Amino acid sequence: MRLACVQLGVEGGAVAANVDGAIDRVRAAAANGADLVVLPELFDVGYFAFETYARAAESVGGDRLARIASVAADADVNVLAGTVVEDLAASAADGIAVPAASGLANTAVLFDREGERQLVYRKHHLFGYGSEETDRMVPGESVPVIDLEGVRIGVTTCYDLRFPEQFREMVDDGVECVLVPSAWPYPRVEHWRTLGRARAIENLAYVAAVNGSGAFGEDALCGRTTVYDPWGTTLASAGEEPTTVTAEVDPERVAAVREEFPALRDRR
């Protein structure tokens, strides 16, 4: 599977422009042979645009994600819209299972090549350190893992990288590649590098840590989108500017590494 990780330049609160830019990048990645395109965390509103969350929120079945589904089908590519601000009450009204009757969620949605919704992941660990996410969002409850074109795929979001037990839960469900859409800021660059690699090494799985790019007042995202293989080796990475990072994900490679170094079998 050819993976394209879009390190999008996100403008705080500029929802229409952000979504238009994301769609352009999805089309470009598909034209370059991508099988799966991954967008960063809150690519629609910008993570630090907290005051925009409520008025920008939509159902998982709303118009914004419908546009992403449409481009996935039109470009014949799988897309992780990771993430958007979800209005949980609106999703419930659309018949979509939600963790709470009301509130907002930080939600990633994976669409297949037909534009069909295959996975919905709501961020579990909400960030409270100098952030308003914990005040404005409802945490998710499920950790779905799906088969996508021969690869067992799971999703976490940004701060989830600091909680290895969540990755272990996915490993128990057979995960081979974990997608991590993020809005990781300066100055914690070394944490970003170390945690993504550590999750790959300890789970003997691919980890695609997909960050945004851009400044929001005094806060700035550090970019450095990186794809790690099951040994924790960097397959592809970026600097801080907007770009697209591509890498090949091979489930046979996961099986071979887990056979050669069977640490997962030694768990007690």
- Told to judge if 222 belongs to the known catalytic residues of this protein, a careful annotator would answer no
Q: What are the beta bridge partners of residue 68?
A: none
In angstroms, rounded to a whole number, what is the distance separating the alpha carbons of residues 83 and 46? 10
| Dihedral sign computed on CA atoms, order 91, 96, 100, 101 | positive
- Told to judge if 11 belongs to the known catalytic residues of this protein, a careful annotator would answer no
Which token pair is 43? 């690519």
- Told to judge if 123 belongs to the known catalytic residues of this protein, a careful annotator would answer yes
Select which of 5, 41, 58, 176 is catalytic. 41
Select which of 58, 123, 133, 177 is catalytic. 123
Place of tokens 């879009």: 6
In angstroms, rounded to a whole number, what is the distance separating the alpha carbons of residues 218 and 77? 36
Select which of 5, 86, 158, 176 is catalytic. 158
Burial of 249 (0-12, 13-18, 19+ CB in 10 A): buried
Please report, for residues 85, 182, 188, 219, 232, the alpha-carbon distance to residue 136 in angstroms, rounded to integers and kept in the order given: 10, 17, 23, 19, 34
Q: What are phi and psi of 228, to 5 degrees?
A: -110, 145
Residues 6+ apart with CB under 8 A from 160: 123, 124, 125, 166, 180
- HSE (CB half, 13 Å, CA atoms) of 261? 11
In angstroms, rounded to a whole number, what is the distance separating the alpha carbons of residues 262 and 245? 30
Q: Which residues are catalytic?
A: 41, 123, 158
